[in-house]
Amino acid sequence: MSQDLISKKELLEITGISYGQLYRWKRKKLIPEEWFIKKSTFTGQETFFPKYKVIDRVEKIKNMKGDISLDSLADMLSPDLTEKIVSEKELKDRNIVSEATLEFTREEYGETKEFRFEQIISIYLLDKMFKSGKIGHSEGKIVFQLFSDKYQKFKGKNCELIFFRKMGVSSCCMVPDSKDVHFEETIKIMEIMNISELIEELKIKMF
């Protein structure tokens, strides 16, 4: 998924923070590890960030850090939800996923009334793809199976899920960076979902 990037030097200049602050906030997990993107340039390897997300996050930290501790701020901005259990009712009541998508998950998980965070990621992913209108019920099964089988391999890393069609036949794959994946011309890319961005978005909704 293409995104606007900003270099570390530009970020420090625009926001007025220091190198030390940036990496202290990284250690505190105020700024996610996956936002530190290493890229080769003509001057060597440099660090880049998703521009709008990192600037927004830095401004939030600057505005809030005088009122609460960095540890408390980290809990707010990057909560650890790996052990969190959420009920089906809460997912629906808080509009995190739709009833239609929950109905789909009952076919996969059975009549489960509570979900672990990793399960919620797959449900939230499907919900966004269903709402886009780019995949149907049977295609949702393909996405769900791939994500369930391969998520652990990519856990904690920046990756993207690509959903595509060729001559009416649907398939999908998970890759570290879709910009480095090239398909032949008869394949039509229907959707690219950045899993790291999806998880950040989901954490904010659930915290």
pLDDT tens, the chain, 207 aa long: 346 899 999 999 999 999 999 999 998 888 888 889 988 888 788 999 999 889 988 988 888 776 677 777 776 666 666 677 888 888 988 889 999 999 988 887 777 788 888 889 999 999 999 999 888 888 999 999 999 899 888 887 778 999 999 988 999 999 987 777 888 989 999 999 988 888 878 877 776
What is the pLDDT, as a whole number, of residue 68? 73
Under DSSP, the state recorded for 147 is: H
Strand, coil or helix: what is 18? coil
**Structure pTM?**
0.67
- Are the CB atoms for 146 and 140 separated by under 8 Å? no
Cα–Cα distance measured from residue 104 to residue 84, given in angstroms and rounded to the nearest whole number: 22
Q: Where in the chain is the domain with CATH 1.10.1660.10?
A: 5-77
Cα–Cα distance measured from residue 4 to residue 126, given in angstroms and rounded to the nearest whole number: 25
Q: If residue 123 lies in a helix (H) or strand (E), which one and from where to where?
A: helix 117-132
Cα–Cα distance measured from residue 175 to residue 65, given in angstroms and rounded to the nearest whole number: 36
Cα–Cα distance measured from residue 174 to residue 150, given in angstroms and rounded to the nearest whole number: 8
β-strand partners of 85: 116
- CATH domain 5-77 topology: Multidrug-efflux Transporter Regulator; Chain: A; Domain 2 (1.10.1660)
What is the pLDDT, as a whole number, of residue 173? 94
What is the pLDDT, as a whole number, of residue 42? 81
Classify each residue of 49-62 as buried b or exposed e, where b means 16 or more C-beta atoms within 10 Å of its C-beta: bbbebbbebbeebe
Strands (E) across 121-206 are located at 160-166, 169-175, 187-194
Tokens of 74: 């980290």
Please give the radius of gyration of the chain, using alpha carbons only, rounded to the nearest integer: 19
